[in-house]
Structure 1
Amino acid sequence: MKKWAQKLGMVALLLALWEGLSRSGIWSPHLFPGPMKVAESLVAMAKDGRLGSATLRSLGRLSRAYLLSVSIGVPLGLLTARVAFFRNAVKPVVMGLQALPSICWLPLALLWFGLTDAAILFVVVMGSVLSIAIATEDAVNGLDPQLARVASTLGVRGPRFYFGVLLPGALPGIVTGLKLGWSFAWRALLAGELLFVSGGLGQLLTMGRELMDVPQVMAVMVAIIVIGIAVDRVLFQTVETRLRRRWGLTATV
């Protein structure tokens, strides 16, 4: 109860600060509406179906791109951690590309794929796959060397070692990397959707800007924050907490 009270108190404080700034006269009420105006816009978009449709469209794109990123990033991270060629030749390339913001891939994506979903999916994959690969490599490298020695002594090699020792031991770190990759993918998706008609949350933001409808812009931003927090809390944090407890990495109380 104390934790919930602290969280609700912080939310109330932020809303009060927001309302105070909107009434201070520093900005025009049209350019900086208060929480009630934004809430009204959010409810209106929910009622007419625009918000639900845009959310489903964005999450559909995100799911496809993220699953592709995981299917590439996790094996790439394992190979980088365990195979000398990938560690010496591929890892520097991965680290270099990771320093490139994902939105920088959009011009190439538009030239290669045109104004299609494939362009956005490509940007999302490039925004998340490298972080997943790096996190997976770190998780494998952080594995207790004693596990590998014991497995070798017991004759556990090949697929039995990878699927019975290596992956389970590195799983908590891999899940943390998947969580990080999802956050990068979410940001890359919205950045891509902002730049052309896409039918997602990014398009709602663009429409609000073009119509000078600031409450709509802020309402979509609030929806994006809520969706991000919900996915993190319901999916990733739940899985991560259970794994860490199962692996004895946190207290069970």
Structure 2
Amino acid sequence: MASTETPPSRPAADSGDLAGLEAGLDALDTVQVRRQPLAQLLVHKVLPPVLAVLLVLLVWKLLVLAQVTDDYKLPDPSAVADSLGELWRRGTLFDIVWTSVSRGLLGFLAALALGTPLGLLVARVPFVRAAIGPILSGLQSLPSVAWVPAAVIWLGITDAAMYAVILLGAVPSIANGLVSGIDQVPPLHLRAGRTMGATGWRGARYVLLPAALPGYIAGLKQGWAFSWRSLMAAELIASSPELGLGLGQYLENARTDSDMPGVLLGILLILFVGIAIDLIVFSPLERRVLRGRGLATAGR
């Protein structure tokens, strides 16, 4: 008689091990979002840039004390602070900054409205990509200042010329950023969206754009940088009393008056605005998107 053997039963511990392994994998995929204590936030986020600024001021002061060049070429930091205080006392500091910031933000929003559908069109229509893609790449590499003379001839020394230069500088960056983000979307996402009925505009809104968001935001950051640089170039070259006093024109006026503290103050204000917009608008947006995809932690 043939003997029948009962196969050995799998230990109950195996199921526990599998459950623990699955829980561990889930924990790896889950981003732990914790709020940093205020002291830790100050140490990691605020202290490094403050120390960097203090170091720059120290080196600047040492160069002045060493008299490496004439005072009118490299003024003392206190002279630049005096120029800032003079603008504050006259009540013109905010007006100068806001004139340029309002133009830059409005021009960027217009570039966003034009660059987004253009990027979608280039990314999804092969004929359009073949025809316009190389032109967008070429425009992105073209210095924005090259458009200022043409914009002045076409539109005169007006706000319209300023906005035209901003658009020509920012739209290619935004469109190319979106194209790059869409190119990195896995085809499986698009097929899954079509299966669930997300086609045409619905597919672009609910599948394509969310999946391409990291690349799109990178394009937006670059688009803002091009907007700001384009505007400063336009204000420097096409200055007119009718346009109001912006940062670019203030910088040009200081150069005309051989006011080196005013020149350095203008440069510092332009730099400050560019950094502030990035820190206030784009960096939090980028962190939020990356956290949602498990690509960044709360401390980033």
TM-score strictly above 0.5: yes
Kindly state the Cα deviation for residue 21 of structure 1 after the two structures are TM-superposed.
1.1
2:247 corresponds to which residue?
201
1:32 corresponds to which residue?
74
1:222 corresponds to which residue?
268
List structure 1 runs of 4+ shifted beyond 3 angstroms.
Answer: none
Q: How does 1:66-77 map to 2 (within 5 A)?
A: 66-77=108-119
1:107 corresponds to which residue?
149
Corresponding residue SS for 1:27: coil
Letter in 2 for 1:30: Y
Contact 1:128–1:181 (CA<8 Å) still a contact in 2? yes
1:97 paired residue among 139, 162, 175:
139
Distance 1:96 1:172 in 2: 23
Q: What RMSD over aligned residues (CA atoms) do the two structures have, in Å?
A: 1.4
- 1:121 aligns to 2:163 (yes or no): yes
Contact 1:73–1:133 (CA<8 Å) still a contact in 2? yes
1:240 corresponds to which residue?
286
Distance 1:35 1:70 in 2: 38
Distance 1:56 1:10 in 2: 27
- 1:182 aligns to 2:254 (yes or no): no
Letter in 2 for 1:34: D
Contact 2:83–2:262 (CA<8 Å) still a contact in 1? yes
2:259 corresponds to which residue?
213
TM-score, normalised to structure 2, is 0.81
Q: How does 1:79-94 map to 2 (within 5 A)?
A: 79-94=121-136
Distance 1:69 1:6 in 2: 34
Distance 1:222 1:6 in 2: 19
Corresponding residue SS for 1:156: coil
Kindly state the Cα deviation for residue 229 of structure 1 after the two structures are TM-superposed.
1.1
Contact 2:112–2:174 (CA<8 Å) still a contact in 1? yes
Larger Rg: 2
Distance 2:164 2:72 in 1: 37
Contact 2:185–2:212 (CA<8 Å) still a contact in 1? yes
- 1:250 aligns to 2:296 (yes or no): yes
Kindly state the Cα deviation for residue 61 of structure 1 after the two structures are TM-superposed.
1.2
Distance 2:68 2:297 in 1: 49
Kindly state the Cα deviation for residue 157 of structure 1 after the two structures are TM-superposed.
1.4
Distance 2:136 2:50 in 1: 41
**Deviations along 1:203-229, whole A, 9 cap, x unmatched?**
110111111111111111111111111
Distance 1:252 1:52 in 2: 34
Distance 2:105 2:122 in 1: 25
**Deviations along 1:75-123, whole A, 9 cap, x unmatched?**
1111111111211111122122222211111111111011111111111
Q: How does 1:7-46 map to 2 (within 5 A)?
A: 7-46=49-88
Percent identity (aligned): 38
Contact 1:147–1:165 (CA<8 Å) still a contact in 2? yes
